[in-house]
Amino acid sequence: MKQLDNEKLSLFLDNQLDSEQSLHLLKAINKDPALQTKLQRYSLISQAIKNDASQVASSNFVASIREEIRNEPTYLIPSRKAPANWKKTAWAAAASVLLGVSVVTFMTAREQAQPFGSIQTLAQTNKHYRTADNTRFNEYLQDHDNVWYVNNATGSQPYARVAGYSDR
Amino acid sequence: MSEPFNVSEDLDQGLVRRVQQGDKAAFDLLVIKYQHKIVHLVNRYVKDPSEAQDVAQDTFIKAYRALGDFRGESAFYTWLYRIAINTAKNYLLSRSRRHSEYEIDVQDAEQVENAPQLKDMDTPENMLMNEQIVEVIRSAIEKLPEEMRIAITLREFEGMSYEEIAEAMDCPIGTVRSRIFRAREAIDAKLDPLIG
**Is residue A51 very low, low, confident or very high in pLDDT (cuts 50, 70, 90)?**
confident
User: At residue A1, does pLDDT exceed 70?
Assistant: no
Residue A83: inside a domain: no
Tell me, what CATH number does A20's domain have?
A: 1.10.10
What number of other Cβ atoms are within 10 A of residue B110's Cβ? 13
Q: Are residues A53 and A8 in the same domain?
A: yes
Note the pLDDT of residue B93.
92
How many angstroms away from the CA of A75 is the closest CA of chain B?
5
Among chain B residues, the shortest Cα distance to A42 is held by: B184
**Is residue B81 very low, low, confident or very high in pLDDT (cuts 50, 70, 90)?**
very high
Across B129-158, average pLDDT: 90
DSSP A81: P
Domain with CATH 1.10.1740.10 in chain B: 5-117
CB distance B153 to B147 below 8 Å = no
User: At residue B97, does pLDDT exceed 80?
Assistant: no
Report chain B's C-alpha Rg in angstroms.
20
Q: How many CA atoms lie within 13 A of A139 on its CB side?
A: 11
Rounded Cα–Cα distance for residues B167 and B25 (Å): 40
Question: What average pLDDT does the structure give for chain B?
Answer: 84
Across B82-97, average pLDDT: 92
Interface check for B157 against chain A (CB to CB < 8 A): the answer is yes
- pLDDT digits 0-9 by tens, A77-129: 776 655 556 666 677 777 777 777 777 776 766 656 555 444 444 455 555 55
CATH number, domain B5-117, options 3.10.150.10, 2.60.120.10, 1.10.260.40, 1.10.1740.10: 1.10.1740.10
Rounded Cα–Cα distance for residues B34 and B12 (Å): 10
What number of other Cβ atoms are within 10 A of residue A13's Cβ? 20
Q: Which domain holds residue A6?
A: 2-70
User: At residue A156, does pLDDT exceed 50?
Assistant: no
B39 CB burial (10 A radius; 0-12, 13-18, 19+) = buried
**Is residue A143 very low, low, confident or very high in pLDDT (cuts 50, 70, 90)?**
low
Residue A43: inside a domain: yes
**Is residue B118 very low, low, confident or very high in pLDDT (cuts 50, 70, 90)?**
very low
How many angstroms away from the CA of A86 is the closest CA of chain B?
20
Among chain A residues, the shortest Cα distance to B40 is held by: A55
Note the pLDDT of residue B9.
75
Residue A93: inside a domain: no
- From A36, A49, A57, residue closest to B39, measured CB to CB: A57
Residue A152: inside a domain: yes
Is the ipTM of this structure higher than 0.85? no
Record: contact A43-B65, CB cut-off 8 A: no
How many angstroms away from the CA of B180 is the closest CA of chain A?
8
A72: left (phi over 0), alpha (psi -120 to 50) or beta: beta
Note the pLDDT of residue A124.
54
> At which of A44, A70, A96 does a domain end?
A70
Q: Are residues A63 and A116 in the same domain?
A: no
* Higher per-residue pLDDT: A30 or B111: A30
| Per-residue CA distances from A90 to A81, A93, A94, A98 (Å) | 16, 5, 6, 12
Rounded Cα–Cα distance for residues A23 and A30 (Å): 11
Domain count, chain A: 2
Residue A64: inside a domain: yes
**Is residue A152 very low, low, confident or very high in pLDDT (cuts 50, 70, 90)?**
very low
* Higher per-residue pLDDT: B195 or A123: B195
Note the pLDDT of residue A65.
95
Across A1-7, average pLDDT: 83
A162: left (phi over 0), alpha (psi -120 to 50) or beta: beta
DSSP A8: H
CB distance B33 to B100 below 8 Å = no
> What percent of chain B lies above the pLDDT cut of 70?
81
* Interface with B, mutate which of A8, A36, A55, A62 (most B CBs under 10 A): A55
Among chain A residues, the shortest Cα distance to B42 is held by: A55
Chain B residues near residue A78 by CB distance under 8 angstroms: 21
CB distance A11 to B174 below 8 Å = no
Rounded Cα–Cα distance for residues B49 and B42 (Å): 10
**Helix (H, G, I), strand (E, B), or coil: what is residue A10?**
helix
The domain over range B124-195 is classified in CATH as 1.20.140.10: no
Model-level pTM? 0.65
User: Where is A91: in which H helix or E strand?
Assistant: helix A84-113
